[in-house]
Amino acid sequence: MKDFALLFAALDETNKTNEKVSILRDYFTNVSDSEKIHTLALFTGRKPKRQINSTLVKQWAMEMANIPQWLFEESYQVVGDLGETIALLLPESKGRHEKDLAEWIAEINSLGSLTEEERKTWLLDSWSSMTQQERFVFNKILTGSFRIGVSQSLIVKALSEISGLQASTITHRIMGNWNPDTFSFYDLIQEQDASDDLSRPYPFCLAYAIQETSDKQKTAEEIEADLGDPGEWQAEWKWDGIRAQAIHRQGKIFIWSRGEELATDKFPELHPFLYDLPAGTVLDGEAICFVDGHPMPFNVLQTRIGRKNLSKKILAESPMAFIAYDCLEFAGDDIRSMPLAHRRSVLERLHILTEHKDIFRISPVVNFSNWKDLYDLRLKSRDNYAEGFMLKRLNSVYQTGRKRGDWWKWKVDPLSVDAVMIYAQKGHGRRADLYTDYTFAVWDGDKLVPFAKAYSGLTDKEIKQVDYFIKRNTLEKFGPVRTVKPELVFEIGFEGINKSSRHKSGVALRFPRILRWRQDKKIEEADSIEVLKSMLGD
Amino acid sequence: MARPLLQFNENGIYCAAGDFYIDPWRPVDDAVLTHAHSDHARWGSKRYLAHDLSREVLKYRLGDITLETMGYGETLYKNGVKISFHPAGHVIGSAQVRVEHKGNVWVVSGDYKLEDDGVCTPFEPVKCNTFISECTFGMPVYKWKSPKEIHDEINNWWRKNKEEGKNSVIAGYSLGKAQRILQHLDLSIGKIFLHGVIANTNEALARNGITLQETTRITSETSKEEIKGAMIICPPSALGSPWMRKFQPYSFGYCSGWMSLRGAKRRMAADRGFVLSDHADWDGLIQAIDATDCDCVCLTHGYTASFTRYLNEIGFDAHEAHTYYGGDEASEEDHLTTDIVNSEGDVITDKQVSDAQEEEEL
Ligand SMILES: [Zn+2]
Ligand SMILES: [Zn+2]
């Protein structure tokens, strides 16, 4: 556990990619195989089940730290993370322990059979034996909130350097249904893929967005300059559903969403067509709600996804279909290295044979002879229930992850939202006394969630006005940050948007900036988080 | 009821009986200063009284001012009110101001810390009836490790950077933190360079008779070659400025109490955060307040509301001085220089940062 806590701290202390990889490599070279696989499980989101609810963890921490509940809550407000708050509040420990990560996780997993009193004793003893650094990661694991600021690709890179295996092989092997009890480090790095895990999906090939801003859309000429001969490209509509891989192997079916979540049960309507596919088939496509022969907006799907139980009503209101656009495995063979044109013909053949054409749909290829036609057609995307085009190079293989060049998404909407300013920080140098760095929020139900920080885009005069407002409308201060009365609305533009588990909003923007101050808008008119999420694509 | 000896008004902490202010934020006739940090020592008053060791720094910062100084334990009377200075342990020349009138004793802490930092005179508790205390870090999540541990971390970090062919750039406020960092650096590792603002401050301290470890000032003539593997001490405002380019490749460390929170560390985008503070931590504040045997304590800057509530719960008669300020902007100075970071938490380096004026808020 000491090693693991040190690893976490070391990763925390650098934001340089190559340093992170080298820290990971050193760690993986030095710890036992069981620790390696447990670390990998944690890093890929395979957390142990939560055995003690956080209310009890909090309560016992308050007792041990000897502070009242309100002060605990305020401390939590200041720190912003429960595991960290507790680690900071507990009295310095006197004891020690020799358990490694695997042993701690085994203990956590065995808590199920203990009484509440026994759990409490176990937890207080555990805390008493740990350093502050260990307590922090331990709390994160215990409360099921362990997250790490390292992308999977870096972990894969480190493992690939240690094992000599291809990064794509490792990426594939760490996907799917495994846990540290069923999968060993040896399984991961063995030469031959003797894996018999039927459920294992392939890493998704991801597209880059054609870089556009709301101020400037790419012209047909610019697209032509970037992408070249239209004859080398396949265009499809870009659907606003959930990216999914549908698998049928040896009579068993699996549906994986892009977040590496097994979503088979979420989409019962898709099961019959999957069972009817020839065994050894893996399709890539979009799970999407389909009514009267056309796709429904994303929010219909989203309401459905949010439900624990799929009632008859839900199934009737938001029936699912699967729009396939690629075939990754056929007759049990991995065909990802075949060109797209070939994979497409395999897909079309499968589609001809299916009896479930209303459910198993195929993303039609949009014919075009020049970029100008496609450009004009793209503006009618919404009429086609799509959000733009996917452009794929006909001779491209199915890549692992996001690789620039072969797959592009070309969306119709400029990227911008109306948002409310909620925090402010002072600027620097010339503007040291002015509040110039703002944090913006959008609505999530009746709450405002922060999603972006931006500081450029206003005129000096506007900055002074905003500064004046901030200084008179400060609600509270945390260190250098002021919470400001939500009142001012700004239009925020950005170059791209990604999912992010690190941010409260669940999204991270690329290059956000202020387009203009919307003095004409009230905060009620600001956008909601759904609007941002709908821009995520994929 | 008699008028309190000290009151908060729109200009600062006012002693009506003696007709003087302590740390006024607006120009007044008579200002008594706890220390030379810019949020406590402001320009424009007619006459100043401060500790002997603040003299040169105050003159460097405020220019030609009318300044009288005295040492710890010495006394002076203003209109019958007895004034004396007592070590606050915050920075060189920092003092708690004790005022006594008709048997009533008030102490204004200024900023303080309890640990001996090896540079300034360590904090001494002063018995009083009413204590006006800061509480910058008045939340229980703030608990400092021993300074020795932190200084070892800094030296180890420097050594490692040097081995990896990197320079070390460390940020701390130019009065206090900079000297504290400097005095505990291991000169056997390499040379130490200073940002101009810190070099100026050190020269002012030297005129006051303070000797510090050997350093070199960074100038436009300083070559990349001489700073190889060196430690460069700069104020936080230098962070992200073009001035830093010369030091590439470097690792950047930030010294502050705020660094104990991961979130703050991320916001500062430092490669390394060192939890080194010149303010008292949670336990330190309670211990210091308790040691004054005061009947009543007033809390200023920091987590005043929470800390006041807690003190009342554990039996003190505590008040938030905050309410007396009436929303005055000057009193709301934050205690951390903010930096320009993008949404990824990376510091923006292409913004013009004026080196003429140091942004200092401690
Ligand atoms: Zn202060
Ligand atoms: Zn200070």
ipTM of the complex: 0.86
pLDDT at B355 over 80: no
How far is C-alpha A314 from the chain's CA centre? 26
Token pair recorded at residue B256: 């502050």
Radius of gyration for chain A, computed over Cα atoms and rounded to the nearest angstrom = 26
Q: Which two tokens stand for residue A10?
A: 């070391």
Contact A443, A527 (CB under 8 A): yes
- The answer to whether B330 contacts chain A (CB < 8 Å) is no
**Which residues in chain A have Cβ-Cβ distances shorter than 8 Å to B261?**
78-80, 84, 88
The residue of chain B with its CA nearest to that of A511 is B343
Tell me how far apart the 2 most distant CA atoms of chain A are, in Å: 74
The span from the CA of B167 to the CA of A160, in Å, is 31
Helices assigned H by DSSP within chain B: 55-62, 147-163, 177-183, 196-207, 262-268, 282-291, 304-313
Query: CB A429 to CB B140 under 8 A?
Result: no
Cβ within 8 Å of B, A 418-457: 425-430, 432, 437, 452-455
Pairing of strands A242-249, A252-257: antiparallel
Per-residue confidence (pLDDT) for residue A199, from 0 to 100:
82
Element (H, E) at B134: strand B130-135
- For residue A123, what are the CA distances in angstroms to A17, A60, A64, A111, B210? 35, 8, 10, 10, 51
Q: Are B171 and B255 in contact (CB under 8 A)?
A: yes
Q: Which of A368, A320, A325 is nearest to A348 (CA)?
A: A325
- Residues with Cβ within 8 Å of B114's Cβ and at least 6 positions away in sequence, in order, are B89, B122, B123, B280, B284, B287, B288
Query: Which of B262, B335, B343 faces A508 most closely, judged by CB atoms?
Result: B343
Long-range contacts of A193-198 (CB under 8 A, 24+ apart): A193/A169, A198/A247, A198/A249, A198/A250, A198/A252, A198/A254
Q: B173 CA distance to ligand 2 centroid (A)?
A: 10
Chain segment B93-124, per-residue pLDDT in tens: 999 999 999 999 999 999 999 999 999 999 99
Cβ <8 Å between B140 and A75? yes
Percentage with pLDDT > 70 across chain B: 87
Spatial CA neighbour of A19 closest among A175, A158, A145, A203 = A158
Residue holding tokens 């504290």? B180
Q: Does B336 sit within 8 Å of A480, measured CB to CB? A: yes
Burial of B222 (0-12, 13-18, 19+ CB in 10 A): middle
User: Measured between CA atoms, how close is B281 to chain A, in angstroms?
Assistant: 12
Which positions 298-327 of B are in contact with A (Cβ < 8 Å)?
A: 303, 306, 309-310, 313, 327
Span A222-279, pLDDT tens digits: 888 888 899 999 999 999 888 999 999 988 899 988 766 778 888 999 999 999 999 9
B338 touches chain A (CB under 8 A): yes
Q: How many CB atoms lie within 10 A of CB B175?
A: 32
Instruction: Determine contact, residues A531/A505, Cβ cutoff 8 Å.
Output: no
Which two three-digit tokens encode residue A198? 């039927």
Distances from the Cα of A221 to the Cα of A218, A314, A405, A530, angstroms: 8, 46, 18, 33
Q: CB atoms < 10 A from the CB of A445, how many?
A: 8
Both structure tokens of A159: 């493992």
Q: Is A528 on the interface with B (CB under 8 A)?
A: no
Write out the two tokens for B272.
Answer: 């390394």
Q: Which two structure tokens, joined as six digits, stand for A111?
A: 């808590």
Neighbours of ion ligand 2 (CB under 5 A): B 37, 111, 362
Beta strands in A379-415 (DSSP E): 388-393, 401-402, 407-411
Given a cut of 50, is residue B343 above it in pLDDT? no
Residue A360 dihedral angles phi and psi, to the nearest 5°: -85, 100
Q: CA dist A411 to A178, A374, A377, Å? A: 36, 12, 12
In this structure, how many other beta carbons lie within 10 angstroms of the beta carbon of residue B149? 10
Contacts for B318 with CB less than 8 Å, ≥ 6 apart? B296, B297, B298, B299, B307, B308, B309, B311, B312
Cis preceding linkage at B249, omega within 30: yes
Question: Cα of A81 to ligand 1 centre, how many Å?
Answer: 27
Say yes or no: B212 contacts chain A, CB-CB below 8 A.
Answer: no
B266 three-state secondary structure: helix
Three-state DSSP at B179 gives helix
Condensed to tens digits (0 to 9), the pLDDT of residues B271-309 reads: 888 999 999 999 999 999 999 999 999 998 878 889 999
Q: Does A506 touch chain B (CB under 8 A)?
A: no
Contact criterion met (CB below 8 Å) for B213 and B183 = yes
pLDDT at B97: 98
Among B338, B15, B121, B230, smallest CA distance to A470 is for B338
A495 φ/ψ sector (left φ>0, alpha ψ -120 to 50, else beta): alpha
Q: A75, B261: Cβ pair inside 8 Å?
A: no
User: What is the three-class DSSP state of A358?
Assistant: coil
Taking the C-alpha atoms of residue A347 and residue A326, their distance in angstroms, rounded to an integer, is 6
CA dist B214 and B194 (Å) reads: 10
B339–chain A Cβ distance below 8 A for any pair? yes
Q: Which of A433, A477, A481, A438 is nearest to A456 (CA)?
A: A438
Q: Which residues in chain B have their CB less than 8 angstroms from residue A427's CB? A: 338, 340
Quick: pLDDT tens for B128-151: 999 999 998 999 999 999 999 999
Taking CB atoms and an 8 Å limit, are B139 and A480 in contact across chains?
no
Out of B141, B334, B336, name the one closest to residue A75 (CB). Answer: B141
Query: B341 and A75: CB-CB below 8 Å?
Result: no
Q: Is A74 on the interface with B (CB under 8 A)?
A: yes
The answer to whether B97 touches B32, Cβ cutoff 8 Å, is: yes
Contacts of A474 in chain B (CB under 8 A): 332
Say if residue B260's pLDDT is above 70: yes
Q: How far is CA A514 from CA A448, A454, A487, A528, B342, in A?
A: 18, 7, 16, 17, 13
End-to-end CA distance of chain A: 37
CA dihedral for A193, A198, A200, A205, sign (positive or negative):
positive
At a CB cut-off of 8 Å and minimum separation 6, what does A280 contact?
A248, A249, A250, A329, A330, A331, A332, A333
Instruction: Please give the span between the terminal C-alpha atoms of chain B, in angstroms, as a whole number.
Output: 36
Contact A388, A412 (CB under 8 A): yes
* Tokens 């230098």 -> residue: B238
pTM of the predicted structure, to 2 decimals: 0.69
Q: Quick check: B254 contacting A, CB < 8 Å?
A: no
**Tens digits of per-residue pLDDT, B21-62?**
999 988 999 999 999 998 889 889 999 999 999 999 999 989
Residuewise pLDDT in 10s, chain A (538 residues) = 889 999 998 888 776 788 889 999 999 999 998 899 999 888 887 888 888 988 999 999 999 999 999 999 989 888 878 999 999 999 988 888 889 999 999 999 999 899 999 999 999 999 999 999 999 999 999 988 787 767 777 888 899 898 888 777 787 788 777 788 878 888 777 765 545 578 888 888 888 777 554 445 678 888 888 888 999 999 999 998 889 999 999 888 999 887 667 788 889 999 999 999 999 999 999 999 998 888 887 767 867 876 777 888 888 888 999 999 999 999 999 999 999 999 999 999 999 999 999 999 999 999 998 998 998 888 888 788 888 899 999 999 998 877 778 898 887 765 788 899 999 987 665 556 778 889 999 988 778 888 998 877 788 888 888 988 888 888 777 667 788 888 899 989 886 787 877 777 888 887 788 888 887 778 888 888 888 887 775 4
CA geometry: angle at A501 spanning A136 and A215, to 5°?
Answer: 140
Quote the strand ranges of A230-350, DSSP E: 233-237, 242-249, 252-257, 281-291, 294-295, 320-330, 333-334
Give B90 Cα–ligand 1 centroid separation in angstroms.
Answer: 10
Shortest Cα–Cα distance, A462 to chain B (Å): 19
B174-194: pLDDT as tens digits = 999 999 999 999 999 999 999
